[in-house]
Structure 1
Amino acid sequence: MTEADMSQPNEDQLPLGPWDAGALATLEAWDRSWADACRTMSTDPWSGKVLPLRMVELVCVATSVACTTLDGAATRRHMRAALAAGASRDELMTIVKMATVMAIHSCSLGAPILLEEAAAAGAALPSHPATPTPACDAMKRLGQWNQAWDPFFALDPAWTDAFMATGAGIYSAGVFTAKETELLSIAFDVSFRHMYAPGTRRHIHGALAAGASVAEIMEVLKLCVAQGVAASNLGVAILAEELARPAHGG
């Protein structure tokens, strides 16, 4: 064996990353060349060259548990790996909370359109009595208020404040650094299951301002691409089961 050969990692020592071990083994048996190429690409962020393993796994928890994804198997796999890499319960619970409140993008998208169409139709807007909005005020003090929220605040300030009460604590608890919060937020917004451009731009801007490097942000994007492996984890396993049915001759 040459020195060059010895410097290459053994195939069995490569990280699984986003892969289900059983699906990967089946895929390798069917199409080793493509499986090797896809595994090399998708597991690159696990090399530790840019982000620490703990952060890699936390990003994967975020993209798996997001309300736009809800991949139970991947969430469990990456939560387990994150805990093994030193993540805490509070960190993982914070990601679950972030994954929950990202559903506000339904209003970010829909409320401006509602206001425009209501104006075009001459429809009356709902009236609301003046009421304190302490949670919204807190989000503004934290610098977490997004102008995209102004339209639904105008439509229903009391409900908006109730929603923001669920978000203010997430960002004020100090579980993550500002940079980590922004990197995780990028993952939520840029994931191919979501692709929310306004939030992606806002959080990339925030990540750079918080000290993140371009390489670190690119690593988050690569982890979101690695999430595509979920198609193989699901499809290969089902195909193997269907091929094993008697009708297919085993």
Structure 2
Amino acid sequence: MAIDKAALKEEIMRERGYWARFHDVLLEHAPEFLQAYIAFQAAPARSQVLDRKLCEFIYIAIDISVNHMYERGARRHMGFALQAGATKEELLQVLLLTTVMAAQQPIDSGLAILSEELGASASPPLDAGEQAIKASYAAATGHWPEAGDLLLARTPDLAEGYMAYGRAVWDAGPLTAKEKELIALAICASPTALHEPGMRRHIKGALAAEATPEEIATVLQLAAAISIHSCTLGIPGWEDVINGKLVE
């Protein structure tokens, strides 16, 4: 059955709120793929499992994460978030949370490996003062990294900075605990990160903050959505190359 291209374009404009060059090229050369794309991309919004504002926060976080740095998309979704009722303070916390999440990922993963390699000698037992610091941080953020004891016992200066960075975005700001957990999950689950320890941590945290399995599954689909940026950037280049325009 032939695809109604005009109707498909109207659907994408309605669902995504914009029309881009890669849409034009796909509409002409691969309309079946474009139709499948909009079914995948629009599913979270159509389900209404998450409100539109939170969906936009998640798009902002995965676009602007240092793992991806897709500024055009982040700006677009900031605008959509404002239209959905977001405040400037909420948007700022999304950006700061995204920054901290990316900074902590290599430390979390690297020290966990170091702990495994060191075995029983990885970290001496925490003293009473260190235990109190650990408890305070975990209470404020809801988390303690897998190798946090090693971090605190062996590199107290690094631990102090790590925890101050984390508390700055987890212990304050207008976002709810559930919103922060779901945004953090999206950052870890993004195809450009795939940080499994973080995914586990924030799925656990989201459940503790009363997120539903449906909400968590929707976040994972939102995170997967940045895969389309291979088309956003690649399809216009493909069209240029087949038309003999190798570089601009």
Contact residue 183 and residue 203 of structure 1 kept, 8 A: yes
1:153-198 CA-partner distances (Å, limit 9, x unpaired): 2331112112221221211214111111111111011111111122
Q: Which residue of 2 aligns with 1:55?
A: 54
What letter is aligned with 2:114?
Answer: L
Contact residue 135 and residue 161 of structure 1 kept, 8 A: no
CA distance in 2 between counterparts of 1:53 and 1:43 reads: 11
- Per the normalisation by structure 2, the TM-score is 0.82
Deviation at 1:116, TM superposition (A): 4.6
Q: Which residue of 2 aligns with 1:71?
A: 70
1:38-69 CA-partner distances (Å, limit 9, x unpaired): 11211222226211111111111111111221
Q: Which residue of 1 aligns with 2:222?
A: 223
Unmatched 5+ stretches in structure 2: 1-7, 124-128
Q: Which residue of 2 aligns with 1:25?
A: 24
- Per the normalisation by structure 1, the TM-score is 0.81
What letter is aligned with 1:96?
Answer: L
Deviation at 1:202, TM superposition (A): 1.8
What letter is aligned with 1:159?
Answer: L
CA distance in 1 between counterparts of 2:219 and 2:184 reads: 10
CA distance in 1 between counterparts of 2:133 and 2:99 reads: 17
Q: Which residue of 1 aligns with 2:80?
A: 81
Deviation at 1:90, TM superposition (A): 1.3
Q: Which residue of 1 aligns with 2:104?
A: 104
Give the paired residue count: 234
Matches within 5 A, 1:175-214: 175-214=174-213
Unmatched 5+ stretches in structure 1: 1-7, 126-130
CA RMSD across the alignment = 3.0
Name the CA shift for 1:70/1:155 in 2 (closer, same or farther; >3 Å): farther
Q: Which residue of 2 aligns with 1:15?
A: 15
Identity between Structure 1 and Structure 2 (%): 29
Q: Which residue of 1 aligns with 2:126?
A: none
- Bigger Rg, which one: 1
Deviation at 1:75, TM superposition (A): 1.2
Deviation at 1:20, TM superposition (A): 5.8
